[in-house]
Amino acid sequence: MAAIKATAVRVIVVALLITAAAAADAYTNHTVGGDAGWFFNSTTNKTSADYNAWAANQTFSLGDYLIFNTNTNQTVIQTYNKTTYDSCTMDDSLDTDTFQYGGGSNQFGSATVISVPLVIEGTQYYFSDADDGGQCQHGMAFEIKVSHGLGLPPSLNQPPPPAYVPPPAAADEGQSPPITVVTSPPSGGGMRTSANFFGLVLVLLVVLSFLALGTV
C-alpha cells in the first residue's frame, strides 16, 4: 500500500514538473541586440547594435524576458515614464516607475548577464545611464510594447497563487522518494515516468482482478 502511494505521489510530482516545463516553453527570451549584445564603445561613441531596429522586429509578451548580455560599463534602467526615458537619467525619477537592474559592481568591464522579466502590459523603455547619460544620448536606449500574450506565468504573478505545492507531498518530504525524482537528471525523467506509470497500472490491474475474483 505504501509503495502504491509513493508511486502515485511520484507520478503526480513528475506530471507537475512536465506541465511546468511545457508552460515555460511558451514564453520567449529576447537577447537584446541579438549576438551583438548590449555594449557601448566610449572611444567611438558607438553602440554594438541598433536597439530600436532590433526591438521593432520582435514581439514582446507578458512573461517573456529581456536578456542583456553586457558588462559593467553599461547599465540597464527600465522605466514606464517617457519623461525619464527622454532625460537619459534616473536622477529625478520616481521609485514607482523606474528601476535599475544589476549594478552593485564598481569594476569596469566585468562581463554580466541581466535578465528582466516583462510583467506589465503596454509601453516601457530601457536605457543605459552610464557616462552621465552619454550612452543613452548615443543610442543605448529603446522602447518596447508588451502585449498580453498568454498572460503572466504563475512564477511571475504577484502575489504568488496559493495551493501550488500539494500539502500531502510536503508532509511526506522527510522519508519518501519524491525528492530523488525531483533531483534526478531530466534525460531519464521520461523513461522513469512511464515505468512508474506502467507499474501503477499493473498494480491497479492486479488489485482489480483480485477484487473481481473475490466477488465471483
Ligand X SMILES: *[C@@H]1O[C@H](CO)[C@@H](O)[C@H](O)[C@H]1NC(C)=O
Q: How far is the CB of 206 from ligand X (least distance, A)?
A: 41
Which residue, 43 or 183, is less far from ligand X as judged by CB?
43
Which residue, 84 or 193, is less far from ligand X as judged by CB?
84
Which residue, 10 or 138, is less far from ligand X as judged by CB?
138
Interface ranges with ligand X (CB under 6 A): 29, 41-45, 53-54, 57, 65, 71, 73, 81, 83-84, 92-94, 97, 108-109, 115, 134, 137
Q: How far is the CB of 35 from ligand X (least distance, A)?
A: 11
Which residue, 65 or 99, is less far from ligand X as judged by CB?
65
**Is 140:51 a contact under the CB 8 Å cutoff?**
yes
**Is 5:12 a contact under the CB 8 Å cutoff?**
no
Q: How far is the CB of 76 from ligand X (least distance, A)?
A: 13
Which residue, 29 or 184, is less far from ligand X as judged by CB?
29
Residue 84: burial class (beta carbons within 10 Å; 0-12, 13-18, 19+): buried
Residue with cell 510583467: 119
Q: How far is the CB of 173 from ligand X (least distance, A)?
A: 24
Report residue 102 as a C-alpha cell: 544589476
In the DSSP assignment, the letter for residue 135 is H
Q: What is the DSSP string of 36-88?
A: G-S-EETTTTEESS-HHHHHHT--EETT-EEEEEEETTS-EEEES-HHHHHHT
Q: How far is the CB of 189 from ligand X (least distance, A)?
A: 17
Q: What is the DSSP string of 20-42?
A: HHHHHHTS-EEETTGGG-S-EET
